[in-house]
Amino acid sequence: MSDLDRPREEGPLLLFSGNSNPALTRKVAQGLGIEPGQALAGRFPNGEVQVRIEENVRGADVFVLQSPQGEDVDGSLMELLVMIDALRRASARRITAVIPYLPYARQEKKTAGREPITAKLVANLIATAGASRVLTIDMHAPAIEGFFDIPVDHLRAAPLLAQHFLGLDPEQIVVVSPDVGGVERANKFRQRLGTTLAIVAKQRLGPQSTEVVEMVGEVKGKIAILIDDQISTGSTLVGAASVLIERGAVDVRACATHGLFPPGAVEYLCDSPLEEIVVTDTLPEVDEGAGSKFHTVSVAPVLAEAIRRIHQNRSVSALFD
């Protein structure tokens, strides 16, 4: 291999964390064999974001991990932007925003007049702050990648989620898409498990409510696995689970990459017909006391490997080959 063919590293690798998901940052750092970078990320007395990078980053290849979500989604997003700006002004060579859950991704198109396309606004803000590239997992709509004017590495959590169900008999499983828009995701998931596919059709009654109207596919006597990109209130999955049980499914489970779980959602899901809810740790994990229905699969290994490959200028897409 000639020197021109060898992967090039962009300065020392440093990983910093905002306050949204420090547990995931620690796992990723452990996978990389490094310690998280030292930085102050807090608030001034008036509530404004305060950031100070407390170690030298000049010439470094810097990664900042933040998953803005929950009651302080806007504060977490602002914290990410300010950290990127601080690193840029401290002469970091390259800054990668590691955003396992991209906020405002559900506002990627106008559904009525005089509505914003907030996902595009967020993409502009991240690039303007000084990020060189973005690393994220399972965006709500793949087209959002085109909103960014900087490179985006879009990882998938499906291989990790599929591993959780490999112990089940494929002949007894049917993978179910809870809506028509998720058919492609569900089809790829069922290919990994070697199972059949079913589709639940729904109509949206409002911003947070839906109604199941029809179902396609055979689920009688099967273990049905609902697959989605994210779980918020859980109403879509619970409605779909009820229909699947009515159609003869003996066991209904659900999995998704991102577990948003606003107040009341965990209790609602615990009382639902779902036997199991599997999510990743792109967002803070559900408390262990919430119930045995919830299981978490960590994305830290795939994030660590993607960061390593970006740092060494190697292919990230090869992770999924």
Alpha carbon separation from 3 to 10, 13, 243, 308 (Å, rounded):
15, 21, 60, 19
Q: Cα separation of 232 and 320, whole Å?
A: 27
- Beta carbons of 236 and 225 less than 8 angstroms apart: no
- Beta carbons of 237 and 254 less than 8 angstroms apart: yes
Q: For residue 246, which phi and psi values (nearest 5 degrees)?
A: -60, -30
Q: Sign of dihedral through CA atoms 235, 238, 242, 248?
A: positive
Q: What is the 3-state secondary structure (H, E, C) of 199-237?
A: EEEEEEEECCEEEEEEEECCCCCCEEEEEEEEECCCHHH
Q: Cα separation of 31 and 286, whole Å?
A: 22
Residue 109 annotated as catalytic: no
Which residues, 6+ apart, have CB-to-CB distance to 93 below 8 Å? Answer: 10, 11, 59, 60, 61, 62
Q: Cα separation of 116 and 109, whole Å?
A: 8
**Catalytic entry in 27, 202, 222, 293:** 202
User: For strand 209-216 and strand 196-206, is the pairing parallel, antiparallel, or unpaired?
Assistant: antiparallel
Q: Cα separation of 304 and 309, whole Å?
A: 9
Instruction: Name the nearest CA neighbour of 232 among 252, 255, 210, 208.
Output: 208
Known catalytic residues are 202
